[in-house]
Amino acid sequence: MEALRVSPDGARLAMLRVSGGTRSVWVAAIGRDAAGKPTSVGTPVAVSGLSVGIEDVSWAGRTTVVALRDAGASSGAGPAAGGGSGGGAGGGSASASELATVPLGGFLTTLAFPSGKAERLTGGAASTNVYVTTSDGQVYARSGSVWQSVGGDLAGLRYPG
């Protein structure tokens, strides 16, 4: 397991899994007892379109997964977390990244990242509240369908979850 991210409502877990050198995103339900204490993790399901070239994963709201991936990665054609493995073999450029957004049960959309290699991703309450950190330490915020540089010295960005 490369990363675990709990959804903002605490009901689901997104996992960045590494198998055979390939990183992919999986989602599982979190079981809770009557007091709300986590007691189990359900069977993970692969998120369609997020099975190759993944760098980082986060939540953007309660039911939308966002991931950084190589821009050349195959996007897959099936619904997300709906039973197919999705994705497929894809090349990808080591210097270009994109933001992949997948509402659970929905279809993947992508947004190209403007410059450099994106490495870290932080999602917020919606897919429009996303911050990306590049390999050279720059931070960008999503603003509609474009990226804007966030000035200043930042040590890290995280939303709850």
CB 11 within 8 A of CB 29: yes
d(CA 160, CA 38): 17
Helix (H) / strand (E) element for 70: namely strand 64-70
Question: How close are the terminal C-alpha atoms of the chain, in Å?
Answer: 17
Q: For strands 45-46 and 109-112, give the pairing.
A: unpaired
Closest CA to 50 of 34, 33, 66: 66
d(CA 135, CA 133): 7
Closest CA to 112 of 74, 70, 151: 70
Residues facing 5 on adjacent strands: 14
Cα within 13 Å of Cα(49), Cβ side: 27
Tens-level pLDDT at each residue, the chain (161 residues): 788 999 989 999 999 999 888 999 999 999 999 999 999 999 999 999 899 889 999 999 899 999 998 887 654 434 444 333 333 333 334 458 889 999 999 999 998 887 767 888 888 778 778 888 888 878 888 877 788 888 766 655 665 54
